[in-house]
Structure 1
């Protein structure tokens, strides 16, 4: 078996490659660009914001 790394330069090309591989029944895996711990932290922060767990700071108080 051979490993091929593809770097499509647009989102449309990436989608086309995935469709092509699926049609030929060629297994592939996607590797995320971000660290999973970082993604989990961002998702947790978004949930906190939606739940109202945040603090709003006035512009005049930013550099105190």
Structure 2
């Protein structure tokens, strides 16, 4: 299972040390850029779910290109 945690900076070192003490837990620190990309992808997936449920109207590719 993968879990993404958002930890306050002043508590991050403690939590990372704690997690690293478990041999069955692997940790990876994200750079701010990777975290932003991950957040954007999650938002896009959430929006697609809303479109499929009919709760959000999608914009066609043609309309997007026309805006440029």
Same fold? TM cut 0.5? no
**Structure having the higher Rg:** 1
Higher helix share: 2
Per the normalisation by structure 2, the TM-score is 0.41
Per the normalisation by structure 1, the TM-score is 0.43
